[in-house]
Amino acid sequence: MSTVDVRHYVAADLPEIRQYILDIHVEVRQRDFGLTGPFYDVERFDERLTMYASRPGWTAVLGWEDGEPVGFCFGTTLAPDTKWWNNMLTPLPDEITAETGRRTVALNEIVVRKPWRGRSIAWQLHEAWLTHRHEERVTLLVNPANGDGAVQAVYEAWGYRQIGQQQPFPDSPVFSVMLRPVKLT
């Protein structure tokens, strides 16, 4: 497994890293994967990035190799009044959805540029990001159609399990909702 230099960031650092994140989003989501439509427009992504970073507990990591950004991941703590669980297609029991502001972190995005894929860089970024998290569990949304299910299978290999589906925005895909402990035993 090759490694990259991983740097940790907090919300106050967003002005320094915003353009790297936006450029990688466009390169990977739009050019590599051909994801188009209003939900994937860079302006909408930037709005979501700003919204996520405005919440307490937002952190990010960027991977670097030879001074070039290779990928990123970021997420934020789910607050007691979070709307994260509101759009489940089948409601989940309260013991899963009850939040304390310390129980769950949401991995909002993880993206690796094409030249660095297949080298376990995404795993490295993911695990480096989680090392600074103090919540019990981590949740994420994945489009089950991505890579004909291969992307979801990667998350399953990382210890996540699907607990339901949701559509968080009217123009977003229906996502698989996945969950795992922050620290694997």
> What's the pLDDT tens digit per position in 120-142?
999 999 999 999 999 999 999 99
Alpha-carbon distance 161 to 167, whole Å? 18
H/E stretch holding 153 reads helix 150-157
Convert the pLDDT of each residue in 66-88 to its tens digit. Answer: 999 999 999 999 999 999 999 99
In sequence order, the β-bridge partners of residue 141 are: 177
What per-residue confidence (pLDDT) applies to 130? Answer: 98
The residues of the chain scoring below 70 in pLDDT are 1, 32, 34
What is the pLDDT at residue 41? 86
The class that CATH gives domain 5-181 is: alpha beta
| Domain residue ranges of the chain, discontinuous segments joined by + | 5-181
CA distance 92 to 47: 28
The pLDDT assigned to 40 comes to 75
Evaluate if pTM is beyond 0.75: yes
- Cα four-point dihedral sign 30, 159, 8, 53: positive
Confidence (pLDDT) at 1: 60
